[in-house]
Structure 1
Amino acid sequence: MMFVSEQIKSYENQSVYSYNTYMPSYNAASEIKPLACIRHSSLGGIYVVKDVNNDKLYLLDSNGSEVNFMFRGQFGPASEEEAKSLHRILMRMQIKSTARPRAKVEDPEKIRDQFKTYLEDLGEKNPAAAKGFEVFWKKLIDMAGDQPGDSWGMRDSKKNGLNPVLKINSKKTGKSVNLAHFFGGNKDRTEMSIIVVKAHLPQESFGLFPNKKTCYGAGDSVDIKYEELLNGVGEKYLNCFKAILKP
């Protein structure tokens, strides 16, 4: 990927470039649009229009500094020669307006290390609980796929610390989104809290998560004793997630 400076040089090397592209032809001040090159009629300053809000203009000067003016009637179109001095500012604005934000890439090995730490901490509090959850989680990952950062991850919160998260690909966007959170609680707790995002929960599974509107109203939850994760109760939830995760 080219840096902004490299992209600007690329634009400058193109032989077919017309400043008229960025100089809208307007007869009235009310026609001033973003990316227009304009000139202050009395002060003589030249600017690129960043934004327009009623009669207020948000402008960038040739140094890239932002200045604001009222009353659009003070401005007229900049000449082609004047617009040339704003070339770099225009290029930067165009690149920023079309650039897509880079998605945050999670390190799979870091996620695995965090999960290992989570199990070790849980084991110090309750060895049987750690073993039960490890077996239950492995079955979940066998269904979801072992792709840290995509099919599952670790979420760090101030309140609960590190906790595993099961993920699913959104049918609307195709992106990986959170499906369920698994909270172990403190050392005296004998239960695992599972919070599922209700938007992904089929109606026939509503009864499996009796605690409604948790996680700021976006999820439903259930508290399961660790030993139950390995018996028929745990199987009910595995079957629920299997139905959600199926292609």
Structure 2
Amino acid sequence: MDAIREWLAGHKREVIRFAVLFMFLAVCLFGLGRLISGNTAETDTESLQLDETYLAASSVESDQTPVQPQESGPAQEIIIVDIKGAVKNPGVYQAEADMRVIDIIDLAGGLSETADADTVNLSQRVTDQMVIYIPAVGEAAERPIAVPENNLTEQEIGNEEAGTEKVDINTADAVLLQTLNGIGGKKAALIIAYREENGSFQTIEEIMEVSGIGEKTFEGFKNLITVGAK
């Protein structure tokens, strides 16, 4: 013990320096530990806040009502329209129920060079079995421009010009028969059934024997039909 005391007495200054250095290191280590502990706590707090934010956003998204796809509207009704006169491709066309006369003219390839468009109501809505006639420039207006089924007038009698090919009621199919004023799909089928049961028509007047075709209807197309091969 005496030797230790003598050594400490002889090295008092070194011992003091060592003690001060030790205390300084202890203080530094303690401060560093507190700093590391504080950063870890802050990181944990930020992570917890992020987790809570994510959970809140997920909850909001799950509560939203899913958007239902819109159902398409009902299909447009298909109608049959006959267009004649000064168009590039006259004939019978399928159309939609909301179409206008101008749309049918487009289906027929447009107006011919001789067409008199000023006499035509291009905005008129078309109907099933309508007959549209486009006159040429200088042509007398002897027929209605657009005539729906069963809307017969005195002007319709003899409304086909000389030289226009007539419908042969002994050979015409349902589509061709429907180009006649007042003849729809049902009446066309009845004409064909009558023809198959009774043989060829002998006269054009015989068509009035078909159920549903009376004198008034016959007058509307009598100049448009003929009886060919019998």
Greater share of strand = 1
- Give the number of the structure with larger relative contact order, counting CA–CA contacts within 8 Å between residues 6 or more apart: 2
| Range into which the TM-score falls when normalised by the shorter chain | under 0.3
Taking structure 1 as the reference length, the TM-score comes to: 0.20
